[in-house]
Structure 1
Amino acid sequence: MEKKINKPIFLGLMILLSLNSPAKAEHLYKSYTVHNSGINSISVNHNGDTIFSVGNDNQIKITDLETGLNKATIKQNSPITALASSNDDNYYATAGSDGSVKIWDAKRNILVKEINIHLKPVTAVAFSPDGKYLISGSYDKTLQVWDIQNEQAMKKLEGHQSYPRDIKFSPDGNLMASCAGDDDAIKIWSTRDWQVKTVIKVKNTYFNTLSFSPDSSMLAVGGDDKSIKIYNANNNNLLKEINNQEGYISAVKFSQDNKYLFSGDSDKNIKVWNPKDWTLVKTFKSSSAINSLDSSYNGKYIISASSDKTIKIWKNRSLNNIFTKTPHQEQINSVIYSPDQKYIVSAGDDPFLSINSASDLNSERQIKDNSNGINSLAITKAGDLMISGGNNGTIKVWQTKNWKNISIFKESKSPIQAIAISPNDNNFVSGADDGKLKAWSLDKEKSINTMSFSEKIKALAYSNDGSVIAAGIGKKIIIWEASTWKQLASVEAHNSSILSLAFNLNDKKLVSSSEDGTVKVWNVNDMSTIKNFTNVGTVNHLVFSSNGKYLAGATKKDIKLWNTDKWTDMETISGHDGNVQTLSFSPDNRLLVSGGADKTIRLWELEY
C-alpha cells in the first residue's frame, strides 16, 4: 500500500481543530439483560409500557419498557417455554416444561389458576380475542381448549404428528391456527365447533411461527426453510412466498395497523416488510438469534428476545418515507437541500434541473439545461449560488434567487463527475472523467489551479474548516492543503474506484466508499483506517448529517445509516426500485432526501 504522510502539517492542523464528540445515536433504542439464561418468549401490553418475558432460568420477568426497571419477578420450579397476554391486558398465561399452564393476574402478578391437563411439557399458549378461552399445545401432540370463565377443559384437539410450536387466533375470533414443525403442517380450526377447517402442508418446511393480519384476512407463517409464506386465511391460497432470508424463521408478527410484518430469524436479523407489496422496508441486526418478537401497539417499537439473555427494543419508525415524487424522466444523479431548507434541487440524466418544494417535493420549477445530463450539484453556504457539473464537460453557476445561469466554465468534453465548494464560498473544485482536477475562483470566474491524473475523479470534498481538500482518484485518496495545494497524503485506499468522500463534523475523520463494496473511515491525522465496513455493496454517495451524528450511504435500492459515535450500523432502508445515487440531509437533520435510478426523489423523516 502506498502511503505518504506529511505529519507536521497534519499535527498542526489537528491542534487547531475543535473537539466535538457526537452524542450517541443508536438504531437500537434499548437493551436490557433481565434473565439469567436464554429468553423463550415475550409479550408487550397494549399500553406499550410493560414487557412480560419468560425463560430457561425458571423466571417470569415484568419489565418497564422505557427504563428497564424490574416491576416484578416470579420464580418457578422449571423452565418456562411460552407466554401469552389477553387482549384486555388483565391476564397473561405461561407454559411450563413441567406440563403446567398457569394464568396470572397481570395487575397484581398473582397466580389465578394452574391447569394440569397435559402429560408432557407445554410448548405454546394463546388467549382467544374475547378472553373466554385459553389454548395450549404440548409435546403430547395435543391442543387443549380451556374455558376460562367456567374453569374447565372444553376440548382436546388432536391430529398433529408432532408438538405444536405456535398457536394463534385470528383477531375476529373465528379461526385458530396451529403449526407443528416436524409434521410440516398448519392446521386451521373453526372456533365454532373446534373442528379442523383445513390443513396446509408443505414438505420439509418445519413451521415455527404464525401471525394473523389485524383484519384476519391473511396468515403469515415462517419455518426452517428460511421463507415466510403468506396465505389467504379464508381459502388458504398462497399469496406470497418471501425467500429473502439468511436464517430459519423463528418469529413473525403483524403490526396492529397492518403497515408492517416483522420477522426474526436465527441469523440475528429482524426484518420489516410492507404488506402492500411484500418489499423489504428495513433490516435490524441483533447480537444473537431471535427467539421471540412483539411490537408496541402503534408499531413504533419492535421488541425482540434472544438466547443471550437480552430484550432489545428497536425504533421501527426511525426513518419513514413521507413523500415520493418523479420530477425527472431519467436517472437522478444529484439532490441537494438549500441552506434555508425551503427547496430541494434535483438533476440527472435528463436535460432538466428541478426545483422542488422541501415540504412535499412538488416540482415548483423546471429549468431546461443543455449539459447532456448533470452528474453533480453543489450549493454555497450562503445559498445564493448553485454549481452544476454536466456530462458535456460544462460547469455552470446558477443564481438561486431567479435561477439564471450567470457563468459557464468549459475546459473539455469529458463529463464532470464531482463538484465541491469551499466553506467560505470563494472557490470550488471540479473533477472529471479525463482525470483533470481544477480549482476555480467563484469571484474571478476563472481557473486558479489544474492537475492532471491518469484515472477518473469521481469524488471531492473540502474539510469543514476549508483547510484541506480530498479527492478520490481511481483507487487513491489524495489530500492537499487548500491554500497552497501542497500534497499532504496519498493513500492506496480501495481495491476499485472511489465513488464518494466526506469529512466528519470536526474534520478528524474522512469516510470513503468504493466500487469494491467497502466503506472506510480514516483518521485524517495519519490516514490510518479506523473502521472498514465490508460487504456493504457499492455505495454511490456518502453524506454526514449537519450535526455529525449520522452517516448515510446510497446503495443498490437501499439507504444505509451508521452511528458516528461508535461507527456501528443503525439501519438499512429499502424503498427505491433501482440504485440509490444521491442523498442530502436537511439542515435541521430531521429529513433526508434521496434520488435514484428509478427517477424518483424520496423524502424520509428521521425519528431518532
Structure 2
Amino acid sequence: MANLNPEIIKRVALKDSIECVTFSPDGRYLLTLPGSRYKTDVWDTRNWRVSRTLLPTGPEFAPLVAAFSPNGKRLVIGGGNEIEWWDTSAKDVRSWKCIARNRAHVQEVFTLSFSPDSRWLVSGSWDKTLKLWDVGTTRLIKNFGQIGIANGEKQAAFSSDGRLLAVTARGVVHVWDVASWKLLHVWNMPANGRAHCLSFVPGSTSLIVVGSRSRDLPQRGFALMRDVKTFQKGSPEKAPFIFEAQALNLAVSAVGPLAVMLTRDGQIWRIPLDQESKKVTPQVIIQERSSPLGLTSLALSADDRYLSTGIARNQLSVYKL
C-alpha cells in the first residue's frame, strides 16, 4: 500500500450512521453496521452492491461491531449486550446462517477480536469487562473481570503468533500471555496519554498504539510503537508522533509493514511500521468530510487493495489503494 493518493471508487449516502465496517478475510465482502437500523449490510466488492442484509435473530439487537475469524468460517456480530455467531464457511453470502447467540455482557459490546488460529474470540463491553470465548463451541472460557475498558477504547489484539493478547483499558495497555492467561505487562502512555486503539505489527511483538495526547488535552492525538520484549528490560518507547486531533481508530495491514489511522478531524493517516526508526512518522493520505462526531470506523481489505471508512454523519467511502 505505497500509494499516497488513494482513488475513491465508491461513496454512498446512507440513512443512518455507520458504527463499523469490516472486510471478509478473502476480500469478497464488506460489512457495514448502521447501529440504529437493527441490520448488517453485506456488500459484494466486485460490484459494490448490497448482496444480502443480515437480520438479527431476536429483538433489540442493534449491531455495533463485527469481526470475521481469520479462516473466514465465522462472523461474530455484537449488538446490545449480546453476540451472534454466524457460519460464513459458504462462499455464497446467501448461505450464511446464524448458529448461536450469547448474552455476553451486562452492557453494550464494542470490541471483538479473534486469535490468528481462529480458536479464540475476545469481547469487550461498556460494562468494563473482557471475556474469552471458544469459537468451536461458542462457549465462555474465561472472564477477565472488570479491567476497566472504557467507551472509545475499541481494540483488543492478538500477536500474529497467537502468544500475546493486548487490550486498552483505562487508557493504558495490558498484555497477557495466552498460554497461561497471566497478565505480563501494564504499559502507561507517556505524558498522561490515553491509549484508544492498538494492534500488533505482523510477524513481531511490537505494538502500534494510537490515542489522545493527555487527559487534559483529549483532542490532541499521538501514535506510538514499542516492542513488548523491551518492557522487562525497562527500555523506553520510541518518541510518539503528535498531531492536532484525537485518534479514533486503527487498521494494520496483514501483508505490508504499515498501518492506517483515522482522526476526529476527518484525516486518514498512513503509518509506516519501520521498527528500526526511532520515531513513528505518519503521513496524511486522505482528507474526509469532517463532522462533530468525525469518522467512526475504518477497515483494510486483507490484500490491501481497498480501504473503507464510515462516517457518523451517514456516509460510506471506499478507496482503491
Into which bin does the TM-score normalised by the smaller protein fall? 0.7 to 0.9
Aligned to 1:30: 9
SS in 2 for 1:171: coil
Quote the offset at 1:159 in angstroms. Answer: 4.9
Which amino acid in structure 2 is aligned with residue 218 of structure 1? Answer: S
Quote the offset at 1:282 in angstroms. Answer: 4.5
Q: Is the 8 A contact 2:134 2:141 kept in 1?
A: yes
Aligned to 1:197: 184
Quote the offset at 1:35 in angstroms. Answer: 4.7
Any residues of structure 2 matched to 1:201-240 within 5 Å, and which? 201-202=188-189, 204-225=192-213, 226-236=221-231, 239-240=237-238
Q: Which has the higher contact order (CA 8 A, sep 6+)?
A: 2
Tell me the distance in 1 between the aligned counterparts of 2:32 and 2:61: 15
Any residues of structure 2 matched to 1:469-480 within 5 Å, and which? none
Aligned to 1:186: 173
Distance 1:144 1:35, change over 3 A: farther
Which amino acid in structure 2 is aligned with residue 75 of structure 1? Answer: L
Tell me the distance in 2 between the aligned counterparts of 1:255 and 1:60: 24
Quote the offset at 1:79 in angstroms. Answer: 2.5
Quote the offset at 1:302 in angstroms. Answer: 1.9
Tell me the distance in 2 between the aligned counterparts of 1:287 and 1:35: 15
TM-score of the aligned structures, taking structure 2 as reference length: 0.82
Distance 1:245 1:28, change over 3 A: farther
Quote the offset at 1:310 in angstroms. Answer: 2.5
Aligned to 2:161: 172
SS in 2 for 1:231: strand
Tell me the distance in 2 between the aligned counterparts of 1:162 and 1:217: 22
Aligned to 1:269: 267
TM-score of the aligned structures, taking structure 1 as reference length: 0.45
Deviations 1:299-354 (A, max 9, x none): 232222221322222233xxxxxxxxxxxxxxxxxxxxxxxxxxxxxxxxxxxxxx
Which amino acid in structure 2 is aligned with residue 93 of structure 1? Answer: V
Tell me the distance in 1 between the aligned counterparts of 2:244 and 2:314: 22
SS in 1 for 2:209: strand
Which amino acid in structure 2 is aligned with residue 271 of structure 1? Answer: W
Counterpart check, 1:255 vs 2:253: yes
Distance 1:132 1:200, change over 3 A: same
Aligned to 1:158: 145
Quote the offset at 1:70 in angstroms. Answer: 0.4
SS in 2 for 1:129: coil
Aligned to 2:33: 54
Q: Is the 8 A contact 1:31 1:310 kept in 2?
A: no
Quote the offset at 1:195 in angstroms. Answer: 1.9
Which amino acid in structure 1 is aligned with residue 44 of structure 2? Answer: D
Which amino acid in structure 2 is aligned with residue 61 of structure 1? Answer: D
Tell me the distance in 2 between the aligned counterparts of 1:231 and 1:285: 28
Distance 1:156 1:33, change over 3 A: same
Counterpart check, 1:285 vs 2:287: yes
Quote the offset at 1:116 in angstroms. Answer: 1.0
Q: Is the 8 A contact 1:230 1:238 kept in 2?
A: no
| Residue-pair matches, total | 288
Aligned to 1:85: 68
SS in 2 for 1:168: strand
Deviations 1:233-257 (A, max 9, x none): 3334554344342311111222122
Distance 1:30 1:66, change over 3 A: farther
Quote the offset at 1:84 in angstroms. Answer: 1.0
SS in 2 for 1:104: strand
Distance 1:220 1:207, change over 3 A: same
SS in 2 for 1:234: helix
Pairing partner for 1:102 from 84, 89, 95: 84
Q: Is the 8 A contact 1:32 1:68 kept in 2?
A: no
Aligned to 2:300: 295
Any residues of structure 2 matched to 1:55-70 within 5 Å, and which? 55-56=34-35, 57-70=37-50
The structure with the largest alpha-carbon Rg is 1
Q: CA RMSD in A?
A: 2.2
Tell me the distance in 2 between the aligned counterparts of 1:103 and 1:209: 24
Any residues of structure 2 matched to 1:14-25 within 5 Å, and which? none
Greater share of residues in strand: 1
Quote the offset at 1:27 in angstroms. Answer: 4.4
Which amino acid in structure 1 is aligned with residue 86 of structure 2? Answer: W
Tell me the distance in 1 between the aligned counterparts of 2:13 and 2:112: 22
Q: Is the 8 A contact 2:74 2:86 kept in 1?
A: yes
Pairing partner for 2:317 from 305, 312, 332: 312
Tell me the distance in 2 between the aligned counterparts of 1:29 and 1:45: 20
Aligned to 1:71: 51
Tell me the distance in 2 between the aligned counterparts of 1:27 and 1:129: 28
Quote the offset at 1:157 in angstroms. Answer: 0.5
Q: Is the 8 A contact 2:268 2:287 kept in 1?
A: yes
Deviations 1:16-47 (A, max 9, x none): xxxxxxxxxx9442234375311122211232
Quote the offset at 1:128 in angstroms. Answer: 1.2
Counterpart check, 1:145 vs 2:132: yes
Which amino acid in structure 1 is aligned with residue 154 of structure 2? Answer: R
Which amino acid in structure 1 is aligned with residue 40 of structure 2? Answer: I
Q: Is the 8 A contact 2:13 2:315 kept in 1?
A: yes
Any residues of structure 2 matched to 1:273-422 within 5 Å, and which? 273-276=271-274, 277=277, 278-288=280-290, 289-316=294-321
Distance 1:196 1:34, change over 3 A: farther
SS in 2 for 1:198: strand
Q: Is the 8 A contact 2:202 2:257 kept in 1?
A: no
Q: Is the 8 A contact 1:81 1:124 kept in 2?
A: no
Q: Is the 8 A contact 1:232 1:238 kept in 2?
A: no
In structure 2, the gaps of 5 or more residues are: 214-220
Distance 1:27 1:37, change over 3 A: same
Tell me the distance in 1 between the aligned counterparts of 2:298 and 2:138: 30
Any residues of structure 2 matched to 1:455-494 within 5 Å, and which? none
Q: Is the 8 A contact 1:28 1:312 kept in 2?
A: no
Q: Is the 8 A contact 1:34 1:310 kept in 2?
A: yes
Q: Is the 8 A contact 2:25 2:68 kept in 1?
A: no
